[in-house]
Chain A
Amino acid sequence: MKMKKALSAILVAAMTMSMLAGCGGGSDSTSDSGSSEAAESSESGSGGDVFKIGGIGPVTGAAAVYGVAVKNGSELAVKEINEAGGINGVQIEMDYQDDEHDAEKAVNAYNSLKDWGMHALLGTVTSAPCVAVGEVSKDDNIFMLTPSGTAVECVQYDNAFRVCFSDPMQGLESAKYIGENGLATKVAAIYDSSDVYSTGIYEAFVKEAENQDFEVVAAEAFTAEAKTDFSVQLQKAKDAGAELVFLPFYYTEASLVLKQAAGMNYNPIFFGCDGMDGILAVEGFDVDLANNLMFMSPFTPTSEDEMIQKFVTDYKEAYGDTPNQFAADAYDGIYAIKAAMEEADVTPDMSPSDICDAMKEAMVNITIDGVTAKELTWEASGEPSKAPMVVKIEDGDYAVVE
């Protein structure tokens, strides 16, 4: 009997250890990359005198495609800037932390970056964690620029800016696009009612739809707890005769919607937002299902623009993958931080709060030519000002729709 008790105690200990080991492994890998960069930048001469830029995003978990893209895109930009002499001659050091698309973990990551001495934050990648981090960063007055946090609340405080469009902007632009191009007269919308991103786009879409030449014939929701079965939502859209189904949510669920629609012989036009980007990267996904899928995206890797081509080539070389818009947003985000820091003429020995105050004012004065837009500018509200773009998937690849 004693033996058994000892054995069970060992087992419990082993399990606890394995769980802890799992956690430890994740943070190890991120801090590894941080410290190796730290070593690099100190070698290049500036010693402890560097700009510390923090990054937060989901490197693992369901939204990992975004987080990894942002990590890679921002690292690429940091490397380029450091090679070209840094920001006003000061090198950048970057530490990128994982939040697994979880608000609580994002705040923890933010706190450890703050302890590290972060001067500015590129993040967070997804909306819900971004809103949570925004709440704490405004109290510390640390400058944050989210590459892809689209919820309105992401930039509700004056220390926060974003590179991408906000949710309502996406909803509004989507409705306008569908209406102005006459894609359909009957439209159904399916959205995730447990997610701020999805709900935000949906609400603006429905509002703008009233001004457009189409009718929303079905509006169906799902929640994070029931996001595998879409048969009912699709059946209702089909019964209502919708020719276009608007899917303002992430690619993981969208891949299921496309599969189930094909299974029930329903072939409307599917139209998504920037969360749809990444669907072609889902392992094992039948890309034929995504043919003719359209979505709003600020970035097309197939564009012939010289700057975009260089970015795509460098990115492929470094990470062996075609960059998506999240990588592009992050790349532009780092350059925006650089531009704002130069405009504000800040130095690493200033406190993060003073840097933030100076950068806030500088943001509205800068204009950058990025890979997500030409003449990208910002308003004091934190919103970017740029032209929208729609992408269509044809034969498993992106094509820009004029």
Chain B
Amino acid sequence: MSFISYLINGISLGSVYAIIALGYTMVYGIAKMLNFAHGDVIMVGAYVVMTAIASAGMSPLAAVLLSIVFCTVLGVVIESVAYRPLLNASSSLAVLITAIGVSYLLQNLALLIFGANTKSFASVVPVPALILAGGSLTIAGETIVTIISCVIIMIGLTLFIKRSKAGQAMLAVSEDKGAAQLMGINVNGTIALTFAIGSALAAVAGVLLCSAYPSLSPYTGAMPGIKAFVAAVFGGIGSIPGALIGGILLGVIEIFGKAYISSQMADAIVFGVLIVVLIVKPTGILGKNIQEKV
């Protein structure tokens, strides 16, 4: 029974990683840049929800929607102010450093506004825990909602990219920016849309993460952000199903590593598996190996 419990916890943790990893992977796929501020958008999203509920007395659902809107706007603003002027810069390092700068900016702003103390985040998930097998297996409501949200987001995003015009434009930009522009696609608009979607997902991830693990500090987003980045690389960066597989595998390996091998070694095991995968398949599990034709 504990095996099932570990598995469910692993999938739940992995689902959060997967939702965050989507933001990394979409932005990388389209803008070819690593948005290291992504993890901190998660933190901002969680703070918005907390403030909206605690100070403005909004209902949890309204607070989550507000947070999604806020993060979407934040993502677009970050992209247009901090990244867009540098996307065509001679060195791709410039954007990377700027992303790290934005990450610190967000953390320090949060420190300034909300203070450094860790706050307890009241869960916004109204679903009660599911008690199975006479009490020996309890699945928290947050776990159920996290997994379901992850599935809905994945299906929705896949449909959006396959069926909608904007989604097709994203695909085109990710394959060849120059050619896409020649075909009349608004490249800058498409990149902004990608940031908008990625940041909206970050807000959702923030709410789910903080509902499941109810502590919130200005550094809350940093570690999950890095783990999700690993998940994105693990699954094949630039690939949306890859982010899902990478995220869930990472979560399950982390929990199983803790449960069956050693709780001290959990992170070492996770990153050890990553190294092995990358040696065998350098582009990640679902990464495409595109040959540059000269």
Contacts and interface: CB of A to CB of B under 8 A. Distances in A.
B158 interface: no
A12 B6 CA distance: 45
B164 interface: no
B281 interface: no
Given A256-B215, A265-B135, A233 B102 contact: no
Interface in A4-23: 4-5, 7-8, 11-12, 15-16, 18-19, 22
A343 interface: no
Interface in A95-109: 100
B223 A225 contact: yes
Nearest to A60: B116
A283 B118 CA distance: 7
A283 B120 contact: yes
Interface residue range, chain A: 35 or more
B118 A22 contact: no
A281 B98 CA distance: 37
A60 B119 CA distance: 13
Contacts of A65: 117
B85 A7 contact: yes
B54 interface: yes
Interface in B204-220: 213-215, 217, 219
Interface string A13-46: 0011011001001000000000000000000000
B28 interface: no
A84 interface: no
B254 interface: yes
A176 interface: no
A232 B215 contact: no
A209 B40 CA distance: 43
Max chain B Cβ within 10 angstroms of own Cβ: one of A19, A231, A264: A231
A282 B120 contact: yes
A256 B129 contact: no
A236 B2 CA distance: 8
Interface string A184-226: 0000000001000000000000000000000000001111011
A399 to B, nearest CB: 22
Contacts of A284: 50, 54, 119-122, 214
Interface string A47-73: 000000000000011101100000000
A226 B266 contact: yes
A231 to B, nearest CB: 4
A239 interface: yes
B213 A256 contact: yes
A303 interface: no
B151 interface: no
Max chain B Cβ within 10 angstroms of own Cβ: one of A8, A222, A255: A8
Contacts of B122: 284, 286
Given A60-B111, A226-B254, A229-B9, A264 B105 contact: no
A22 B108 contact: yes
A135 B83 CA distance: 44
A320 interface: no
A8 B86 contact: yes
Contacts of A282: 117-120
B213 to A, nearest CB: 4
Nearest to A68: B117
A252 B217 CA distance: 10
Contact of A231 (B101, B111, B255): B255
B182 interface: no
B267 A226 contact: yes
Contacts of B70: none
A12 B255 CA distance: 40
B32 to A, nearest CB: 18
A259 interface: yes
Interface string A281-292: 011111000000
Contacts of B258: 220, 226, 232-233
A3 to B, nearest CB: 9
Interface in B236-294: 254-255, 258-259, 262-264, 266-267
Contacts of B116: 60-62, 64, 100
A15 B104 contact: yes
Nearest to B254: A226
Given A15-B104, A19-B108, A259-B214, A232 B120 contact: no
B101 A62 contact: no
B112 A22 contact: yes
Interface of B: 2, 5-6, 9, 13, 50, 54, 81-82, 85-86, 89, 98, 101-102, 104-105, 108-109, 111-112, 115-122, 129, 131, 135, 138, 140, 142, 213-215, 217, 219, 223, 254-255, 258-259, 262-264, 266-267
Closest 3 CB pairs of A and B: A284-B120, A228-B213, A285-B120
